[in-house]
């Protein structure tokens, strides 16, 4: 039983509001600092250091390195020399050298824990990785114009994860500064490698969701104005990402063509026939080859080729069906050209739905009547590896929800007919309205207090 009454919780709501108002400028500053130091999956060394230092300063038990992720459950980890180069870059940019041994090898991400009693156990997840793209340097792009564009060329926060990390630190600060200690355990998970759905599974495998009663995620939404919220995003597509390596045999294309085994043609055949796969009558399915690499010269039969591909499905079963058919196509194409083939898993996430009861509770405690406009979304359509955490908690009777936070940079509302000014996620010019940071911190903090004082 919680020590504070519901009346006390109402008082805490006012404390939360005052706390968030006082930190508006700090939220923006944190977001912009993280944005400037954009780092892609498993290389988030500077970001992990920034988050871990702040959590420790706020009094949280702070976990990094192998305590966060299980090694063999990680997918799509870059080569060791790439990781080491990014670690040295982070050190030159001010990352805490005391954490380098723990993070070495791409063991990024941090978890902050506050405990007072056994239950409830509440977990919140905030992803921290950037995308592999070059951010716009045009003066029309606000981060470039105002001096907080990424300093790490080839990595850019183009999906709002910089905002998610800042929101997580804001929530950590609000809860740490409450005048009472909440019952139970609060676990704030700052997750690496969400892009490509590569990181959540390794955190689940480490056991961080095994005792959780409630897990909450959040995502900033472009095309939704500040104040528009979705309390329970769901209908995420299941997906599997994979790299396909074909190995043949090189030969002179003119002088001895019969001596070669053409890996390029095997890959090209596979790519064409993957895209020719029929879709499933049972629901949404997709297959896509995003990149093909092969060949060394005009007169050399290529002995190696690479495909970077993915499949998706509206359900985990549909995704699995598409994956199995894709594997048969790939193996058949390799056999046609007498090539060897190796298929490496690079990411995986199943589908999941938010629990209506927790979503409705979030709406109820989020603010004063009419303060926010809540919209219900049946199917997000895209993929998100927070679903791995949702399923882990739901499988043992816990509740999960994913909060969508309106943050459109130009204030475009969800029901707007003219959407020409919406800045698409995963684009070089992506940005969002920073007022959404305070909205998210307020809503999430109120939910934590409500869950811990029931």
Whether residue 188 lies inside any domain: the answer is yes
Domain total for the chain? 2
Indicate if 308 and 398 belong to the same structural domain: no
Q: CATH number of the domain at 428, please.
A: 3.40.630.10
Which DSSP helix (H) or strand (E) runs through 8? helix 6-22
Domain boundary among 349, 377, 406: 349
> Domain range spanning residue 244?
238-349
| Cα(281)–Cα(279) distance, integer angstroms | 7
| Strand-strand pairing, 214-221 and 228-230 | unpaired
Whether residue 331 lies inside any domain: the answer is yes
The model carries a pTM of 0.95
Indicate if 40 and 183 belong to the same structural domain: yes
The answer to whether the beta carbons of residues 213 and 123 sit under 8 Å apart is no
Q: Rounded mean pLDDT of the chain?
A: 95
Give per-residue pLDDT as tens, 268-327. 999 999 999 999 999 999 999 999 999 999 999 999 999 999 999 999 999 999 999 999
Domain boundary among 349, 384, 411: 349
Q: CATH number of the domain at 256, please.
A: 3.30.70.360
Indicate if 179 and 243 belong to the same structural domain: no
Indicate if 362 and 316 belong to the same structural domain: no
Residues 6+ apart with CB under 8 A from 234: 352, 353, 354, 377, 378, 379, 380, 402
Q: How large a percentage of the chain has pLDDT more than 70?
A: 98
The answer to whether the beta carbons of residues 57 and 86 sit under 8 Å apart is no
Domain boundary among 333, 349, 365: 349
Whether residue 107 lies inside any domain: the answer is yes
Indicate if 305 and 360 belong to the same structural domain: no
Query: 414 exposed, middle or buried (CB, 10 Å; 0-12, 13-18, 19+)?
Result: middle
Indicate if 322 and 356 belong to the same structural domain: no
Could you list the beta-strand ranges (E) of 60-183. 61-64, 110-116, 121-127
Indicate if 205 and 252 belong to the same structural domain: no
Indicate if 359 and 267 belong to the same structural domain: no
Q: Which one, of 213, 254, 31, 203, lies nearest residue 118 by Cα? A: 213
The dihedral region occupied by 262, where left means phi > 0, alpha psi between -120 and 50, and beta the remainder, is: beta
CB-based burial, 353-365: b 16+ in 10 Å, e otherwise: bbbeebbebbbeb
Indicate if 117 and 30 belong to the same structural domain: yes
The dihedral region occupied by 426, where left means phi > 0, alpha psi between -120 and 50, and beta the remainder, is: left
Indicate if 269 and 324 belong to the same structural domain: yes
- What was the pLDDT predicted at 9? 61
- What was the pLDDT predicted at 149? 98
Residue stretches of the chain with pLDDT short of 70:
1-9
| Cα(101)–Cα(87) distance, integer angstroms | 10
Whether residue 313 lies inside any domain: the answer is yes
Indicate if 77 and 226 belong to the same structural domain: yes
Whether residue 1 lies inside any domain: the answer is no
Indicate if 210 and 284 belong to the same structural domain: no
């Amino acid at each position: 039983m919680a020590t504070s009454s519901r009346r006390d919780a109402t008082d805490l709501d006012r404390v939360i509001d005052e706390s968030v108002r006082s930190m508006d400028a700090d939220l923006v500053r944190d977001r912009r600092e993280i944005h400037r130091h954009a780092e892609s999956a498993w290389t988030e060394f500077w970001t992990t250091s920034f988050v871990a230092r702040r959590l420790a300063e706020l009094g949280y038990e702070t976990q990094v390195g192998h305590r966060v992720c299980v090694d063999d459950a990680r997918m799509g980890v870059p080569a060791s020399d790439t990781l080491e180069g990014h670690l040295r870059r982070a050190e030159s940019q001010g990352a805490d050298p005391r954490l380098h041994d723990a993070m070495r090898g791409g063991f990024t991400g941090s978890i902050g824990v506050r405990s007072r009693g056994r239950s409830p156990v509440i977990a919140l997840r905030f992803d921290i990785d950037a995308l592999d793209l070059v951010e716009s340097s045009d003066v029309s792009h606000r981060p470039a114009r105002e001096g907080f564009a990424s300093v790490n060329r080839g990595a850019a926060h183009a999906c709002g994860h910089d905002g998610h990390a800042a929101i997580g630190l804001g929530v950590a600060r609000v809860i740490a500064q409450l005048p009472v200690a909440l019952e139970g355990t609060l676990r704030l998970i700052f997750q690496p490698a969400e892009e490509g759905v590569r990181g959540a599974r390794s955190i689940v495998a480490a056991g961080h969701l095994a005792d959780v009663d409630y897990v909450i995620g959040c995502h900033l939404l472009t095309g939704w104005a500040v104040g528009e919220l979705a309390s329970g995003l769901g209908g995420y597509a299941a997906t599997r990402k994979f790299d396909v390596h074909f190995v043949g045999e090189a030969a002179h294309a003119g002088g001895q063509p019969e001596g070669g085994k053409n890996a390029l043609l095997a890959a090209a055949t596979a790519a064409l026939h993957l895209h020719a796969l029929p879709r499933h009558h049972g629901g949404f399915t997709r297959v896509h080859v995003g990149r093909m690499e092969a060949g060394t010269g005009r007169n050399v039969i290529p002995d190696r080729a690479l495909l970077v591909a993915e499949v998706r499905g509206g359900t985990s079963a549909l995704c699995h069906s598409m994956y199995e058919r894709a594997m048969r196509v790939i193996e058949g194409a390799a056999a046609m050209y007498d090539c060897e083939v190796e298929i490496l898993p690079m990411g995986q996430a199943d589908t999941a739905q938010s629990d209506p009861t927790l979503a409705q509770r979030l709406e109820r405690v989020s603010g004063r009547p009419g303060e926010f406009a809540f919209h219900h979304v049946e199917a997000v359509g895209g993929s998100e590896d927070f679903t791995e955490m949702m399923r882990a908690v739901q499988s043992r009777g816990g509740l999960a929800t994913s909060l969508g936070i309106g943050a459109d940079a130009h204030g475009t509302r969800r029901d707007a007919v003219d959407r020409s000014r919406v800045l698409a996620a995963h684009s070089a010019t992506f940005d969002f309205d920073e007022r959404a940071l305070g909205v998210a911190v307020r809503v999430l903090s109120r939910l934590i207090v409500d869950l811990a004082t029931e």
